[in-house]
Chains A and B, each alone.
Chain A
């Protein structure tokens, strides 16, 4: 299996020691860090929120530097582009003029810090919670069941689809299907149509298989028991209180 951004995130979530914790407990901590990241002054509040998230990701959530790098490069690239766009101002007064102002730089710095802190805060939840647990939480939050079911099926079969697409591409490439632009266009279009037919056939066979297991109108399954810990929530709340209080005190004492 490859190691793209999405798959690295999925591996991290399934292998995290925090996977068995309840979404509620992790959500309180992650949401608190997110709120701190976007509402506190970027320095020191945003920086502190980012550092706390980073310590959690590399510590108890056990993502590891390399995997974190694979997960973070895409959001970091996007944040860098956004920051650069804010730092540079464009004016048309005497023709096209690009300039970097002090105000622009400060705004870009604040935006970048907040965006990185907010992304890391969200990853504390995403890297410790498999997608399916999030879907279960959505179901419990009364999000319409058909929507959650469709999202779950897309998540489950996205991996099969990627595998099929990879196998088709490999087989075409081995027979010089991508030797030139014209062949590549033809191979790609045939690959997509084949993928569609395979998906259709698989959906039909799956429907048959599920009917044999008593499927009627809902894909209901039993959720595994997750650990709910008052101590964890209290610890998280204390951490957030220190973070927010410390940041406000810094501002007042400055």
Chain B
């Protein structure tokens, strides 16, 4: 799998008179994790669809290794081998009766030999730890299982980047853990991951960088830096992650705080600094 850099330059998307994206510039280095945050209707899904080539920008360009996406049939075919989108609702992309057949759909469309398709399906199911589901009918799977099957379908295309629309939405805590394990599997494959989410706590500890969409404009940076900006967080109708709120109340520097463990470490360091040994 080759790894390529996905970027957007001056991306604008309008539906009628409504401008959903306004001049979005973005660079996603290969193998990195980007979380997109924003209120409902802020344009997260539109941005993902546009990056995936499913939607076409009104203005601006989506770039792969600096080259603009070609929206011809052949161009899109090529782009889909680089970028894959996983919809929020898995039923928007699962159509076959069982898992094996559904995951094989993309590679079959690439015209690969059957042996290679079977190999890719087996690999995708293995990466997501769902080999046991291969022969199961999709209509009997749980919502979380269907979400992971949808990701396997994208992974079987062996893209450089996978874009996930709210992968943890609607999942119970165990389902979220299984999804995180699935994302870890993708990262071990050195796949670039861009995901849209409302879960600020998850975004803080998981992502390498965070993008926040407000009124169609994207602001991005390091997770703690972006999410410590109270004004930006409020204007995006989000709330600050719990650990950052606690860190702020304790007067700790938020730069190192990403989760409960790093918060505890910061507290211990602070206490050690004043001579208190915990």
- Are the C-beta atoms of B96 and A156 separated by less than 8 Å? yes
Q: Which of A132, A205, A208, A222 contacts B117 (CB 8 A)?
A: A222
What are the nearest 5 A-B pairs in CB distance? A209-B93, A214-B109, A132-B97, A222-B104, A221-B101
B interface footprint on A151-168 (CB within 8 Å = 1, 0 otherwise): 011011001100000000
- Are the C-beta atoms of B54 and A221 separated by less than 8 Å? no
Q: Which of A152, A209, A224 contacts B92 (CB 8 A)?
A: A209
- Are the C-beta atoms of A208 and B54 separated by less than 8 Å? yes
Interface residue? B238 (CB, 8 A):
no
Task: List chain B residues, Cβ under 8 A from A14.
Answer: 136-137, 140
Interface residue? B7 (CB, 8 A):
no
A209 CA to B95 CA in the complex, in Å? 10
- Are the C-beta atoms of B135 and A224 separated by less than 8 Å? yes
Task: List chain A residues, Cβ under 8 A from B104.
Answer: 221-222
Q: Which of B53, B98, B153 contacts A130 (CB 8 A)?
A: B98
A205 CA to B118 CA in the complex, in Å? 27
| Shortest distance between the CB of A22 and any CB in chain B (Å) | 15
- Are the C-beta atoms of B54 and A212 separated by less than 8 Å? yes
A188 CA to B135 CA in the complex, in Å? 37
- Are the C-beta atoms of A221 and B80 separated by less than 8 Å? no
Q: Can you sample 6 A-B contacts with CB below 8 Å? A: A14-B137, A212-B85, A213-B153, A220-B108, A222-B104, A224-B101
B-side interface size class: 35 or more
Q: Which residues of B contact A (CB under 8 A)?
A: 52-54, 73, 77, 80, 84-85, 87, 89, 91-93, 95-98, 100-102, 104-110, 114, 117-118, 121, 134-140, 153-154, 157
Interface residue? A223 (CB, 8 A):
yes
- Are the C-beta atoms of B154 and A213 separated by less than 8 Å? yes
A75 CA to B237 CA in the complex, in Å? 59
A156 CA to B101 CA in the complex, in Å? 12
- Are the C-beta atoms of B109 and A215 separated by less than 8 Å? yes
Interface residue? A100 (CB, 8 A):
no
Pick the most buried of B73, B97, B101: most chain A CB atoms within 10 A of its CB: B97
Residue of A nearest to B120 (CB): A222
Q: Which of A155, A160, A214, A222 contacts B80 (CB 8 A)?
A: A214
Within 8 A of B (CB), among A116-157: 130-132, 152-153, 155-156
A168 CA to B149 CA in the complex, in Å? 27
- Are the C-beta atoms of B137 and A212 separated by less than 8 Å? no
- Are the C-beta atoms of B153 and A205 separated by less than 8 Å? no
Interface residue? A186 (CB, 8 A):
no
Would you call the interface of chain B mostly helix, strand, loop, or mixed? helix
Residue of A nearest to B114 (CB): A222
Task: List 17 other contacts, CB 8 Å, given A221-B101, A222-B107.
Answer: A14-B140, A130-B97, A152-B96, A155-B97, A156-B97, A205-B92, A210-B105, A213-B80, A213-B84, A214-B105, A214-B109, A214-B110, A216-B109, A220-B105, A220-B108, A221-B104, A224-B100
Q: Which of A152, A160, A208, A212 contacts B84 (CB 8 A)?
A: A212
CB-CB under 8 A for A209 and B87, given A132-B97, A214-B80, A214-B157 = yes
CB-CB under 8 A for A223 and B101, given A14-B140, A211-B54, A214-B80 = yes
A41 CA to B139 CA in the complex, in Å? 43
- Are the C-beta atoms of B101 and A131 separated by less than 8 Å? no
- Are the C-beta atoms of B52 and A212 separated by less than 8 Å? yes
CB-CB under 8 A for A160 and B91, given A132-B101, A224-B100 = yes
- Are the C-beta atoms of A210 and B95 separated by less than 8 Å? yes
Interface residue? A219 (CB, 8 A):
yes
- Are the C-beta atoms of B118 and A152 separated by less than 8 Å? no
Interface residue? A194 (CB, 8 A):
no
| Shortest distance between the CB of A106 and any CB in chain B (Å) | 44
A206 CA to B102 CA in the complex, in Å? 13
Task: List chain A residues, Cβ under 8 A from B101.
Answer: 132, 221-224
| Shortest distance between the CB of A72 and any CB in chain B (Å) | 22
Residue of A nearest to B112 (CB): A222
| Shortest distance between the CB of A202 and any CB in chain B (Å) | 7
| Shortest distance between the CB of A223 and any CB in chain B (Å) | 7
Residue of A nearest to B134 (CB): A224
- Are the C-beta atoms of B118 and A214 separated by less than 8 Å? no
Within 8 A of B (CB), among A197-242: 202, 205-206, 208-216, 219-224
Q: Which of B54, B118, B135, B139 contacts A156 (CB 8 A)?
A: B139
Task: List chain B residues, Cβ under 8 A from A222.
Answer: 100-101, 104, 107-108, 114, 117-118, 121
A132 CA to B135 CA in the complex, in Å? 12
| Shortest distance between the CB of B214 and any CB in chain A (Å) | 26
